Amino acid sequence: MSFIRTGFRELALKLKRQRTRIALRHERRLLQKSEINLGREGTAQAANFPELRNEIVALKKLEQEQKEVALRIARIDEGIKRIEEERQQIAREQANGIAKLEAEKSRFFKSVTRRRAPQRYPNESSARWSGAFRRAKLPIAIS
């Protein structure tokens, strides 16, 4: 029995909340309409006074200019972001390219020095002797 009573109570509360929401929506619409009408009435009254009319026109122009400036700033920010991303991309590509070139250069120099080392000094003693002859500026006679 208490379950049924609780169920009815919950249903009644739900209906009450729903009615309150509907009433709030209706009041909100009425409030918006009255604010719009009040704004129209105010601009209509301001049209009777040339100073106010000029002020209103100036304010509208200012608002329009602010919107245009905001759009320009947004476009410039997007352009700056795009340029920064491109710079970072180019920097990464350059770093990768330099790293590859350095690796190739080191491999090349290692292979060249391996090839030339036996040709210059067939053994350790001839290397010492050729250094001595070079210091003495004598022609190398050791073979």
Q: What is the pLDDT of residue 116?
A: 62
Q: Would you give per-residue pLDDT tens digits along the chain (143 residues)?
A: 688 889 899 999 999 999 999 999 999 999 999 999 988 887 777 777 778 778 888 999 999 999 999 999 999 999 999 999 999 999 999 999 999 999 888 888 777 776 665 555 555 555 565 665 666 665 555 54
For tokens 């040709």, the residue is 119
Quote the CA–CA distance of 101 and 31 in Å, as a whole number: 73
What pTM did the predictor assign? 0.40
Quote the CA–CA distance of 108 and 114 in Å, as a whole number: 10
Q: What is the pLDDT of residue 135?
A: 62
Q: What is the pLDDT of residue 85?
A: 96
Q: What is the pLDDT of residue 136?
A: 62
Q: What is the pLDDT of residue 106?
A: 85
Q: What is the pLDDT of residue 62?
A: 95
Q: What is the pLDDT of residue 115?
A: 65
Q: Using CB atoms within 10 A of its CB, is residue 15 exposed (0-12), middle (13-18) or buried (19+)?
A: exposed
Q: Using CB atoms within 10 A of its CB, is residue 60 exposed (0-12), middle (13-18) or buried (19+)?
A: exposed
